[in-house]
Amino acid sequence: MGSPTWTPGALPAWKATIFLLHIISAAVAKRHIVYWNSTNTRLTAGDLSIQVNLNDYLDIYCPHYPNKGTLGPGQPETLALYLTTEASFQGCVETRGAIKRWECNTPYAQFGPVRFSEKIQRFTPFSLGFEFLPGHHYYYSSLPTDEGPPLSCMKLRVTVCCETTSMGSKHTQETRSSHSPLRTPSLPLLLLLLLLILLLTA
């Protein structure tokens, strides 16, 4: 039998498979949206808690103001977000162990509120990335920047599902509907995936 012919420019099957898996993974990943400003009463009350899965995204939207004419008392809000320990989370203070994740310092951004995205992953190749473990809680809090007005303490707890028990089963943490609805894969994206599958198997 003759060896299979290879067409220049054709993608090897294993590379195409990996590429397709990456696309599918991105399509099914959920995005958890939090608008981080003092009008979010769940943040200021300190009882906002969300559950995520590995490979999900946490999207933080900074305070935003279309123009200076729309400012109210105590605005514009500018702040820094930290990943803290549980003890620091209770008091909403910066400590030596706190990790600064982002700064919301462009309240008049031209194209809308600045978004920071945290990918919930167990391993990260990036030095500025953070690694999350299933069954653990992570705590975000914010402090006003020097140039901004004083702000209320705003806090968020993130729970990564799920912790594996010794019996091999998974304990699913309670899901709380305290954040924006999750986005699901759009129909055009699913059609694109189907087209890719058909092209690769043709």
**pLDDT grade, residue 166 (50/70/90)?**
very low
Residue 172: predicted pLDDT? 35
pLDDT tops 80 at residue 47? yes
| 75 token code pair | 């605005």
**pLDDT grade, residue 84 (50/70/90)?**
confident
**pLDDT grade, residue 158 (50/70/90)?**
very high
Strands 155-161 vs 137-144: parallel, antiparallel or unpaired = antiparallel
- Summarize the confidence of residues 146-171 as an average pLDDT: 71
Residue 162: predicted pLDDT? 76
**Which of 33-42, 81-90, 92-101, 141-150 shows the lowest mean pLDDT across its residues?**
92-101
Question: What proportion of the chain, given as a percentage, has pLDDT over 90?
Answer: 27
Query: Of 73, 72, 63, 78, which Cα lies nearest the Cα of 146?
Result: 78
Query: Of 141, 3, 27, which Cα lies nearest the Cα of 84?
Result: 141
Residue 57: predicted pLDDT? 95
Across the chain, mean pLDDT equals 74
Q: What strands, in cross-sheet order, belong to the sheet with 31-35? A: 31-35, 57-61, 115-119
